[in-house]
Amino acid sequence: MKPDRPLRVAILGATGAVGQRFVALLSNHPWFDVTRVAASERSAGKTYREACRWLVPSQMPEGIAPLIVSDLTASDDIDLAFSALTADVAGDVELTWARVGVPVFSNARNHRMEPDVPLMIPEVNPDHLGLIPGQSKARGFPASGFLVTNANCSATFLAMALAPLHRTFGVELVSVVTMQAVSGAGYPGLSELDISGNVIPFISGEEEKLESETQKILGAQRNGAIDPADLRVSAQVNRVPVADGHLESVSVKLRNTATLDAVREALQSFSGAPQSEGLPSAPNRPIVVLDEPDRPQPKLDVDRENGMATFVGGLRPCNVLDYKMTVLGHNTLRGAAGGSILNAELAVARGLIGGAA
């Protein structure tokens, strides 16, 4: 179901690295019309062009450059808001928008693990939208207001790759080692002196997110709450000198016996709501299985499918758990802004926004 009119969109935190990705992705969106770019007091009052040190490879969209940046005060003349705010302010600001009746699709971590907030990957858990009526009611939001979050970037690709296996065979144990791109640390992020020619085996709080978010994403919605999936995840995270694209070396133990071919087939044939409902930002296939032994690679694969697919390669048996594989996704597209936009598209298609139902 498409919206019957262009929906007015606000981008909260529009001048930062993730905010700019929202701007770039929404500049020609068929459903969404960016009418407000909001940021901190420091930027408010300037044009977007002035307020923003543009970091996205493509040029700044001409339609958005002259917009005047507003502050973050919530207003109800907006159909939905995307939040690219940093965690120090996202928690409170997002609530003020929901309270005036605006649905908020957030990339921030603050509300992700709250029991009534969907932690969404539309191909994986579209039914988690079922939390929304209860959320709005319990929190006293107007009926149109609610919060939806996307997952941590690394958790997104892990959960996507696990979803078909969990659905088909049951996943019991997951060991994941990530090699994460520097763009995941925002801008200016890492110093060249620290990361060039180096690997840093630590990102604060990241392992915990991978371990807990995966359980929630793959969990079942039941009576307005999420039952976490009954699987254990162990994560070790590393920062590598790569611009874009988180690579993950994953091994899994399944609950039911499965041949390598069956595992491959489950991954390759996986599809979900974005594909069947023809959402504008949906990749053709959510998971692309690569058979060359040395793929996926960030440099060669991360921009394929508009950065919205998850790439899986190196599928093979494992001496410790059952199977090993290599997983790749674009951390600032599907893993951040693009993922949030797809979440919003699903909510629109399901009639939760804009009175389009």
> For binding to its own copies (CB under 8 A), which residues are involved?
55, 57, 59, 173-175, 177, 179, 182-183, 187-202, 211, 232-234, 236, 238, 240-243, 247, 249, 251, 293-300, 303-304, 313-314, 318-321, 324, 326
The rounded distance, in Å, linking the Cα atoms of 195 and 204 is: 16
Q: Give 318 or 356: the residue with its C-beta nearer to its own copies.
A: 318
Strands (E) in 84-189, as ranges, are: 104-106, 119-120, 147-150, 171-180
In the complex, the smallest distance separating the C-beta of residue 325 from its own copies, rounded to whole angstroms, is 9
In the complex, the smallest distance separating the C-beta of residue 179 from its own copies, rounded to whole angstroms, is 5
Environment class of 347 (CB within 10 Å of its CB; exposed 0-12, middle 13-18, buried 19+): buried
The rounded distance, in Å, linking the Cα atoms of 255 and 253 is: 7
Catalytic residue among 111, 128, 166, 246: 246
Contact 311, 328 (CB under 8 A): yes
Q: Give 117 or 312: the residue with its C-beta nearer to its own copies.
A: 312
Token pair for 341: 């936009």
Whether 318 is catalytic: no
Catalytic residue among 111, 153, 166, 330: 153
Q: Give 188 or 355: the residue with its C-beta nearer to its own copies.
A: 188
The rounded distance, in Å, linking the Cα atoms of 246 and 244 is: 7
In the complex, the smallest distance separating the C-beta of residue 291 from its own copies, rounded to whole angstroms, is 12
In the complex, the smallest distance separating the C-beta of residue 112 from its own copies, rounded to whole angstroms, is 19
The rounded distance, in Å, linking the Cα atoms of 217 and 155 is: 9
Whether 111 is catalytic: no
Q: Give 32 or 48: the residue with its C-beta nearer to its own copies.
A: 48
Q: Give 55 or 356: the residue with its C-beta nearer to its own copies.
A: 55
Contact 161, 324 (CB under 8 A): no
In the complex, the smallest distance separating the C-beta of residue 330 from its own copies, rounded to whole angstroms, is 14
Contact 78, 100 (CB under 8 A): no
Contact 340, 106 (CB under 8 A): yes
Give me the residues paired with residue 37 across strands: 11
Active site residues: 153, 246
